Amino acid sequence: MEWGASSDVSGGLLIDSFRNNRFLYISVIALLLIVSKVQGQEPCDEEVKLLLLPTQVLAVVPALQASGETHGRIYFYDTPALDLLSKGVILRLREGEEIDLTAKLRPIASEKVIDPTSEGRGYKCEVDLNDGIENQSYSVENKYSAAEVPKTGRELSKLLSKGQKKLIAESKVKIDWKRVQIVADIKSTIWTAPANPPLDKLSLELWEWPGGSVLELSTRGAIDTGQVVYRELRELANKNGLGLSSNQHSKTAIALGGITGLAPH
Protein backbone atom coordinates (compact mmCIF):
# COMPACT_ATOMS: atom_id res chain seq x y z
CA MET A 1 0.00 0.00 0.00
CA GLU A 2 2.79 2.39 0.89
CA TRP A 3 4.59 1.57 -2.35
CA GLY A 4 1.40 2.14 -4.34
CA ALA A 5 0.77 5.40 -2.60
CA SER A 6 4.32 6.49 -3.28
CA SER A 7 3.92 5.55 -6.95
CA ASP A 8 0.74 7.55 -7.18
CA VAL A 9 2.46 10.56 -5.69
CA SER A 10 5.46 10.23 -8.01
CA GLY A 11 3.22 9.78 -11.01
CA GLY A 12 1.23 12.81 -10.03
CA LEU A 13 4.39 14.87 -9.70
CA LEU A 14 5.59 13.75 -13.12
CA ILE A 15 2.26 14.66 -14.68
CA ASP A 16 2.27 18.06 -12.95
CA SER A 17 5.85 18.62 -14.08
CA PHE A 18 4.95 17.76 -17.67
CA ARG A 19 1.95 20.05 -17.59
CA ASN A 20 3.98 22.90 -16.13
CA ASN A 21 6.79 22.44 -18.65
CA ARG A 22 4.32 22.26 -21.51
CA PHE A 23 2.69 25.46 -20.28
CA LEU A 24 6.11 27.09 -20.03
CA TYR A 25 7.02 25.93 -23.55
CA ILE A 26 3.80 27.30 -25.03
CA SER A 27 4.26 30.57 -23.14
CA VAL A 28 7.80 30.99 -24.49
CA ILE A 29 6.65 30.35 -28.07
CA ALA A 30 3.82 32.86 -27.68
CA LEU A 31 6.23 35.44 -26.26
CA LEU A 32 8.64 34.95 -29.16
CA LEU A 33 5.82 35.44 -31.65
CA ILE A 34 4.74 38.65 -29.92
CA VAL A 35 8.28 40.00 -29.81
CA SER A 36 8.74 39.14 -33.50
CA LYS A 37 5.54 40.97 -34.34
CA VAL A 38 6.52 44.04 -32.34
CA GLN A 39 9.96 44.19 -33.88
CA GLY A 40 8.47 44.09 -37.38
CA GLN A 41 8.69 41.81 -40.35
CA GLU A 42 11.65 39.82 -41.52
CA PRO A 43 14.22 41.82 -43.54
CA CYS A 44 12.78 43.10 -46.80
CA ASP A 45 13.77 41.87 -50.26
CA GLU A 46 15.87 44.25 -52.34
CA GLU A 47 14.93 45.68 -55.74
CA VAL A 48 17.90 47.23 -57.52
CA LYS A 49 17.20 49.83 -60.21
CA LEU A 50 19.22 51.55 -62.89
CA LEU A 51 17.91 54.25 -65.23
CA LEU A 52 19.01 54.06 -68.86
CA LEU A 53 18.66 56.63 -71.62
CA PRO A 54 15.08 56.25 -72.94
CA THR A 55 16.19 57.11 -76.48
CA GLN A 56 18.06 53.81 -76.73
CA VAL A 57 15.14 51.54 -75.89
CA LEU A 58 15.21 49.94 -79.36
CA ALA A 59 18.82 48.92 -78.74
CA VAL A 60 18.30 47.81 -75.14
CA VAL A 61 15.59 45.24 -75.88
CA PRO A 62 17.66 43.06 -78.25
CA ALA A 63 20.88 43.64 -76.28
CA LEU A 64 19.31 42.10 -73.17
CA GLN A 65 17.25 39.54 -75.13
CA ALA A 66 14.14 41.04 -73.58
CA SER A 67 10.70 39.81 -74.61
CA GLY A 68 7.08 39.54 -73.51
CA GLU A 69 6.18 43.16 -74.25
CA THR A 70 3.11 44.30 -72.33
CA HIS A 71 1.37 47.68 -72.29
CA GLY A 72 -0.57 49.52 -69.62
CA ARG A 73 -1.35 52.87 -68.04
CA ILE A 74 -0.40 54.23 -64.65
CA TYR A 75 -2.28 56.95 -62.78
CA PHE A 76 -0.80 58.75 -59.78
CA TYR A 77 -2.89 60.61 -57.24
CA ASP A 78 -1.56 63.55 -55.25
CA THR A 79 -2.16 67.24 -54.62
CA PRO A 80 -1.07 69.70 -57.33
CA ALA A 81 1.97 70.52 -55.14
CA LEU A 82 2.87 66.82 -54.68
CA ASP A 83 2.40 67.08 -50.93
CA LEU A 84 1.97 63.31 -50.56
CA LEU A 85 5.09 62.40 -52.53
CA SER A 86 7.15 64.88 -50.50
CA LYS A 87 6.09 63.04 -47.34
CA GLY A 88 6.74 59.56 -48.69
CA VAL A 89 3.16 58.59 -49.61
CA ILE A 90 2.41 57.25 -53.09
CA LEU A 91 -1.06 56.41 -54.41
CA ARG A 92 -1.07 54.60 -57.75
CA LEU A 93 -3.55 52.86 -60.02
CA ARG A 94 -2.03 50.55 -62.64
CA GLU A 95 -4.03 49.33 -65.63
CA GLY A 96 -2.78 46.25 -67.49
CA GLU A 97 -4.03 42.70 -67.78
CA GLU A 98 -5.50 43.44 -64.35
CA ILE A 99 -6.07 46.71 -62.51
CA ASP A 100 -4.23 47.21 -59.24
CA LEU A 101 -4.64 49.97 -56.68
CA THR A 102 -1.52 50.49 -54.56
CA ALA A 103 -0.80 52.56 -51.48
CA LYS A 104 2.93 52.87 -50.86
CA LEU A 105 4.92 54.39 -48.03
CA ARG A 106 8.58 55.39 -48.07
CA PRO A 107 9.15 56.51 -44.47
CA ILE A 108 11.14 59.74 -44.36
CA ALA A 109 12.82 58.78 -41.07
CA SER A 110 13.28 55.09 -41.96
CA GLU A 111 10.76 53.89 -39.38
CA LYS A 112 9.83 50.21 -39.37
CA VAL A 113 6.31 49.35 -40.47
CA ILE A 114 4.45 46.23 -39.33
CA ASP A 115 2.21 44.52 -41.89
CA PRO A 116 -1.01 46.56 -41.68
CA THR A 117 -3.07 43.76 -43.23
CA SER A 118 -2.15 41.37 -40.37
CA GLU A 119 -2.01 38.49 -42.83
CA GLY A 120 0.30 39.53 -45.64
CA ARG A 121 -2.48 39.85 -48.22
CA GLY A 122 -1.23 42.29 -50.86
CA TYR A 123 1.50 43.52 -48.51
CA LYS A 124 5.06 44.01 -49.73
CA CYS A 125 8.21 45.14 -47.94
CA GLU A 126 11.15 46.14 -50.14
CA VAL A 127 14.42 47.98 -50.13
CA ASP A 128 14.48 50.15 -53.27
CA LEU A 129 18.02 50.88 -54.40
CA ASN A 130 18.41 53.86 -56.75
CA ASP A 131 21.84 55.24 -57.63
CA GLY A 132 23.36 53.02 -54.97
CA ILE A 133 21.17 54.55 -52.24
CA GLU A 134 18.85 52.24 -50.31
CA ASN A 135 15.36 53.30 -49.24
CA GLN A 136 12.87 51.15 -47.37
CA SER A 137 9.38 51.00 -48.82
CA TYR A 138 6.14 49.34 -47.77
CA SER A 139 3.06 48.87 -49.90
CA VAL A 140 -0.37 47.28 -49.91
CA GLU A 141 -1.96 46.37 -53.21
CA ASN A 142 -5.50 45.28 -53.96
CA LYS A 143 -7.43 44.51 -57.11
CA TYR A 144 -9.62 47.22 -58.57
CA SER A 145 -12.77 46.13 -60.38
CA ALA A 146 -14.76 49.33 -60.97
CA ALA A 147 -15.61 50.27 -64.54
CA GLU A 148 -14.00 53.72 -64.42
CA VAL A 149 -10.79 55.15 -63.08
CA PRO A 150 -11.53 57.34 -60.02
CA LYS A 151 -11.09 61.00 -60.88
CA THR A 152 -11.01 62.60 -57.44
CA GLY A 153 -9.36 61.94 -54.11
CA ARG A 154 -12.71 61.40 -52.45
CA GLU A 155 -13.57 58.68 -54.96
CA LEU A 156 -10.16 57.08 -54.45
CA SER A 157 -10.35 57.15 -50.64
CA LYS A 158 -13.54 55.07 -50.72
CA LEU A 159 -11.74 52.34 -52.67
CA LEU A 160 -8.85 51.88 -50.24
CA SER A 161 -8.79 48.64 -48.27
CA LYS A 162 -8.47 48.53 -44.48
CA GLY A 163 -4.82 47.53 -44.87
CA GLN A 164 -4.13 50.47 -47.18
CA LYS A 165 -5.80 52.91 -44.80
CA LYS A 166 -3.72 51.56 -41.92
CA LEU A 167 -0.54 51.91 -43.97
CA ILE A 168 -1.35 55.55 -44.74
CA ALA A 169 -2.10 56.09 -41.05
CA GLU A 170 1.41 54.77 -40.28
CA SER A 171 2.80 57.72 -42.28
CA LYS A 172 1.04 60.15 -39.91
CA VAL A 173 0.29 62.24 -43.00
CA LYS A 174 -3.10 63.95 -42.83
CA ILE A 175 -4.56 63.83 -46.31
CA ASP A 176 -7.05 66.42 -47.48
CA TRP A 177 -8.83 64.21 -49.99
CA LYS A 178 -10.60 67.23 -51.50
CA ARG A 179 -7.24 68.40 -52.86
CA VAL A 180 -6.14 65.00 -54.17
CA GLN A 181 -6.54 64.38 -57.89
CA ILE A 182 -4.94 62.56 -60.81
CA VAL A 183 -1.59 64.27 -61.31
CA ALA A 184 -0.12 61.85 -63.85
CA ASP A 185 -1.37 59.61 -66.65
CA ILE A 186 1.58 57.56 -67.87
CA LYS A 187 1.91 55.03 -70.67
CA SER A 188 3.86 51.97 -69.51
CA THR A 189 5.64 49.30 -71.57
CA ILE A 190 7.30 46.35 -69.82
CA TRP A 191 9.68 43.64 -71.03
CA THR A 192 11.39 40.81 -69.16
CA ALA A 193 14.91 39.56 -69.83
CA PRO A 194 16.42 36.21 -68.81
CA ALA A 195 18.80 35.92 -65.88
CA ASN A 196 22.32 37.05 -66.64
CA PRO A 197 24.43 35.35 -63.94
CA PRO A 198 25.15 36.43 -61.32
CA LEU A 199 22.09 38.63 -61.87
CA ASP A 200 18.58 37.24 -61.53
CA LYS A 201 15.81 37.79 -64.11
CA LEU A 202 15.68 41.39 -65.36
CA SER A 203 12.77 43.75 -65.86
CA LEU A 204 12.80 46.63 -68.34
CA GLU A 205 10.10 49.30 -68.02
CA LEU A 206 9.52 52.37 -70.16
CA TRP A 207 7.32 55.20 -68.90
CA GLU A 208 6.13 57.83 -71.38
CA TRP A 209 4.14 61.02 -70.88
CA PRO A 210 3.75 64.19 -72.97
CA GLY A 211 7.16 65.82 -72.98
CA GLY A 212 9.10 63.11 -71.18
CA SER A 213 10.04 59.48 -70.62
CA VAL A 214 12.12 57.27 -68.33
CA LEU A 215 13.59 53.80 -68.91
CA GLU A 216 14.34 51.60 -65.91
CA LEU A 217 16.31 48.35 -65.75
CA SER A 218 15.76 46.45 -62.52
CA THR A 219 16.32 43.12 -60.83
CA ARG A 220 15.79 41.60 -57.41
CA GLY A 221 18.49 40.60 -54.99
CA ALA A 222 18.68 38.61 -51.79
CA ILE A 223 18.69 40.38 -48.46
CA ASP A 224 21.78 42.57 -47.92
CA THR A 225 23.11 42.02 -51.45
CA GLY A 226 21.83 45.27 -52.97
CA GLN A 227 25.16 47.03 -53.39
CA VAL A 228 26.77 43.99 -55.01
CA VAL A 229 23.81 43.57 -57.38
CA TYR A 230 23.91 47.30 -58.20
CA ARG A 231 27.55 47.05 -59.28
CA GLU A 232 26.76 43.97 -61.39
CA LEU A 233 23.84 45.77 -63.02
CA ARG A 234 26.01 48.74 -63.95
CA GLU A 235 28.65 46.37 -65.31
CA LEU A 236 26.02 44.65 -67.45
CA ALA A 237 24.92 48.03 -68.87
CA ASN A 238 28.52 49.01 -69.65
CA LYS A 239 29.23 45.62 -71.20
CA ASN A 240 26.32 46.13 -73.61
CA GLY A 241 27.19 49.75 -74.37
CA LEU A 242 24.05 51.08 -72.73
CA GLY A 243 24.13 54.73 -71.70
CA LEU A 244 22.97 55.68 -68.20
CA SER A 245 20.63 58.55 -67.47
CA SER A 246 22.24 61.46 -65.63
CA ASN A 247 19.24 61.46 -63.30
CA GLN A 248 19.08 58.34 -61.14
CA HIS A 249 16.20 59.36 -58.84
CA SER A 250 13.21 57.03 -58.57
CA LYS A 251 11.21 56.96 -61.78
CA THR A 252 8.11 58.01 -59.83
CA ALA A 253 9.79 61.20 -58.61
CA ILE A 254 11.17 61.94 -62.08
CA ALA A 255 7.83 61.39 -63.81
CA LEU A 256 5.75 63.39 -61.35
CA GLY A 257 8.34 66.14 -61.28
CA GLY A 258 8.44 66.28 -65.07
CA ILE A 259 4.68 66.32 -65.45
CA THR A 260 3.96 68.90 -62.76
CA GLY A 261 7.05 71.01 -63.33
CA LEU A 262 8.16 70.50 -59.71
CA ALA A 263 11.63 69.32 -58.73
CA PRO A 264 11.87 65.60 -57.79
CA HIS A 265 11.79 64.94 -54.06
- Which pLDDT band holds residue 11 (cuts at 50, 70, 90)? low
What's the whole-number mean pLDDT along residues 241-246?
A: 96
Q: Is the CB of residue 244 less than 8 Å from the CB of residue 217?
A: no
Per-residue pLDDT tens digits for 145-201: 877 899 999 999 999 999 999 999 988 999 999 999 999 999 999 999 999 899 999
Phi, psi at residue 134, to the nearest 5°?
-95, 135
Dist. CA 236–CA 66, nearest whole Å = 14
Which of 130, 118, 148 is CA-nearest to residue 227?
A: 130
Give per-residue pLDDT as tens, 12-51.
544 455 455 554 443 433 333 333 333 444 568 899 999 9
Question: Model-level pTM?
Answer: 0.81
Beta carbons of 72 and 78 less than 8 angstroms apart: no
Share of the chain above pLDDT 90, in %: 65
Q: What is the DSSP letter of 174?
A: -
8 Å CB contact between 187 and 212: no
Domain at 45-260, CATH homologous superfamily: Hypothetical Protein Pfu-838710-001 (2.40.320.10)
Distance in angstroms (rounded) separating the CA atoms of residues 135 and 133 = 7
β-partners of residue 74 are: 94, 186
